[in-house]
Amino acid sequence: MTYKIVTVDDSRTIRMIVKNAFKNYDCQLFEAENGRDGLALAAEVHPDLIILDITMPVMTGIEMLGRLMADDELKHTAVIMLTAESGRDNVMNIVKMGVKDYIVKPFKGEQLIERVKLILEDLKTRIDAPVSGAQGQGDHLFSIDGDIVVLTLPEKITRAKASEIEQMVKTKSEHMVSAGANRFVLDVSQVVNLNMAAMQTVLSLVNICERAKLLIRLAATNSQAEALKGFKETSVIPTKLSVEAAKADF
């Protein structure tokens, strides 16, 4: 499902931040510089979400919001307000007018995405979809942080377990592509013995992710990181000493 999102802000910089935030998602972005143009754009495209600044020339965000709420065809459109003021009275006023959420400037794209996921839940649920058929068996190996998927390999990797994990990663990568997400962390730090059998599994998983055009980061111990450098496929992938550092490297 392709979401239609309208961003209305007189600041080109803010509009660019919003646009870049959604670049990895299956979304169609539309831009307007003021409330008057934003209202006309909303009537034309019927968006799923409007990200609306409060202070703008020609027509303010508050005025545009009032017009939206009075329009039978647009009044149910989800709205996130952008505000430079976080005071209680200011927040209560816009909440009473029917906005779904608000975010205080300045903000980062990641913060906006987290708010949007609370409203357009399918962005998250398509990534979180189970990867195995047996009542979610094996899904505990995966965790989701925003639009980043983390796979933590178990301590021991048997041939049967390797095959199972490879199939799960194939399925998860399909979910990610469908959701417009592409950031994947492979955590090998829990593997007790990164022997040849385990390395073959790692290389196979890297190959699956690369075919799906996912961005990959590795999390490993110091000794594992040295071993990973010895393989062509993993030597070029950024390797960090913790999952948090790997996620922060994107």
Domain harbouring 154, CATH code: 3.30.750.24
Range of the domain at 25: 3-120
Residues 33 and 7 in one domain: yes
Among 79, 98, 120, the domain-final residue is 120
Q: Is the pLDDT of residue 134 over 60?
A: no
Residues 106 and 152 in one domain: no
Among 93, 120, 147, the domain-final residue is 120
- Which residues lie across from 7 on neighbouring strands? 31, 51
pLDDT at 83 (0 to 100): 82
Mean pLDDT (the chain, rounded): 87
When pLDDT is cut at 50, 70 and 90, the band that residue 158 belongs to is confident
Average pLDDT over residues 232-248: 94
Residues 101 and 133 in one domain: no
Q: What is the pLDDT of residues 198-210, one digit of tens each?
A: 898 999 999 999 9
Average pLDDT over residues 46-53: 93
When pLDDT is cut at 50, 70 and 90, the band that residue 135 belongs to is very low
Among 103, 120, 137, the domain-final residue is 120
The closest alpha carbon to 188, from 237, 127, 144, belongs to: 237
Q: What is the pLDDT of residues 113-123, one digit of tens each?
A: 888 887 876 66
Distance CA 104, CA 118 (A): 17
Residues 11 and 47 in one domain: yes
pLDDT at 178 (0 to 100): 78
Q: Is the pLDDT of residue 4 over 70?
A: yes
Q: What is the pLDDT of residues 59-99, one digit of tens each?
A: 999 899 999 989 988 988 989 988 876 555 566 677 777 78
Q: Indicate the pTM of the whole model.
A: 0.57
